Structure 1
Amino acid sequence: MKKPQRDITLRFLAETQDVNFGGKVHGGAVMKWIDLAAYACAAGWSGRYCVTAYAGGIRFVAPIHVGSLVEVLAKVIYTGKSSMHIALEVNACDPKSLNKRTTTHCIVIMVAVDQNGQSELVPQWIPESEADIKQHDTAMKLMEMRKKIGEEMEIFVD
C-alpha cells in the first residue's frame, strides 16, 4: 500500500483580483488559499473528501503584494479518528529575487467524510523526528486551548 502524502505546497502568483482597498492582497484571499491547501493536504493524507472543521491562530505577519510568488505549505501534524490537524505557512516573494518571507501561518482542522457527510476514519500519523514530536505535542496543547476558548465563546452564541 502506498504511504499517504503528509504535506503539500501550492504555488501561484498573487493577482489583481486578490487586492484589498489598501493595495495589498486581501486577508480573505489568503484564507481561501489556506483552506485550499489544507484540503489538498488532508485529502492526500486520508484518500477521502474532507471538510474544514476549524481554522485558528491565523497570524498575518506581513503583506503580500500583487505579482508576488506565493507558496502555501501544508502538513499533517496530528490525526484523530477522522480529523487531521494541518499546520500551514504562507510565504511570498518577488519572483525575480526569490527572497521568501513568511506572511501568514495558522492551524486548520479537516475532517474526512463520506458522501452522506458522515465522518470516516483516517490513517494515523505517527511522529518520527524530533521536529515532528514537537509539532504533535503542540497540536495536543492547542486542542486543550481550543476547548477553553470554545467554552468562553459560548456567551456569544444564542
Structure 2
Amino acid sequence: MQKKYKTVGESRVTISELMLPSHSNFNGKIHGGYVLSLLDQIAFACASKHSGAYCVTASVDTVDFLKPIEIGELVTMKASVNYTGHSSMVIGIRVEAENIQTGAKKHCNSSYFTMVAKDAKGKSVDIPGLILKNDNDIRRFVKSIERRKVKLSKNEEFHETDFTKEEYLHILEDQKVQIQTGS
C-alpha cells in the first residue's frame, strides 16, 4: 500500500559524474544539452521514487546556467520534490561542480522540472503529498506555488488569436529590432 504522504527526504536523489572531454562543446566547456539530459534523468528518478510510478516530464520550468562546468570537474546533482499536486510534482535540482584537484566547489545550475506520474496505460495517477518538516521545505513548496501562478498568468496573457500588432508596437520602441513587412 502506498503512503498518503512522504517527507522530502524520502525521495531525495543525489548523483555525481565526472565530466569528460566527450561532454564538451566547441568552447571546451560542458555542453548545456548534456547537462539538460542529466537533469531530466535525475528529475525522473526523484519523481518516480516519490510517486512509486513511471513519470514523464511535463515541463522544464526554469534552467538557470549560472557558471560553466569544466572538463575534469566532478558534477553533483541534488534533486528533491518541492511541490506535489494530484499527479504532478515539481522537482528542484541543484547542480554543483567540484574541481577535484583543489576541492573548490561552485553552484552551476538551478532547475525546476514538472513531472507527472502515469500508470501502464498512460493515465495520470495520484501521488503522495508532502510532509514539510522545516522552513526550507515550506519555502520551496510556497515558491513552487508562486512560480505556477506566474506560469499560468503568462499562458493566459498572450494568445496568438488575441494579438494585434498595433496594440504591442510601443513595447518594441526601445528594443534592438527592425520591423519589415511585405515582401
One fold, TM greater than 0.5? yes
| 1:36 equivalent in alignment to 2:46 | no
Separation in structure 1 between the aligned mates of residue 121 and residue 44 of structure 2, nearest angstrom: 18
Separation in structure 2 between the aligned mates of residue 153 and residue 50 of structure 1, nearest angstrom: 30
User: CA offsets per residue over residues 100-144 of structure 1, 9 Å max, x none?
Assistant: 111010110111101111111111112121111111110110110
Separation in structure 1 between the aligned mates of residue 157 and residue 20 of structure 2, nearest angstrom: 38
Stretches of structure 2 that go unaligned for 5 or more consecutive residues are 162-183
What secondary structure does 2:129 align onto? Answer: coil
Over 3 Å counting, the alpha-carbon distance change for 1:151 and 1:18 in structure 2 is: farther
Separation in structure 1 between the aligned mates of residue 95 and residue 13 of structure 2, nearest angstrom: 12
Matching of residues 1-158 of structure 1 within 5 Å = 5-152=10-157, 154-155=159-160
What secondary structure does 2:110 align onto? Answer: strand
Separation in structure 1 between the aligned mates of residue 33 and residue 156 of structure 2, nearest angstrom: 26
**Which of 114-123 and 93-102 deviates more?**
93-102
Over 3 Å counting, the alpha-carbon distance change for 1:14 and 1:155 in structure 2 is: farther
Following TM superposition, by how much is the alpha carbon of 1:81 offset from its aligned partner in structure 2, in angstroms?
A: 0.6
Please, what is the CA RMSD of the aligned residues? 1.8
Separation in structure 1 between the aligned mates of residue 153 and residue 103 of structure 2, nearest angstrom: 41
- Residue identity over aligned pairs, in percent, reads 35
Following TM superposition, by how much is the alpha carbon of 1:14 offset from its aligned partner in structure 2, in angstroms?
A: 0.9
Aligned residues: 156
Separation in structure 2 between the aligned mates of residue 150 and residue 21 of structure 1, nearest angstrom: 35
Separation in structure 2 between the aligned mates of residue 15 and residue 121 of structure 1, nearest angstrom: 39
Separation in structure 2 between the aligned mates of residue 19 and residue 155 of structure 1, nearest angstrom: 38
Following TM superposition, by how much is the alpha carbon of 1:152 offset from its aligned partner in structure 2, in angstroms?
A: 4.0
Stretches of structure 1 that go unaligned for 5 or more consecutive residues are none
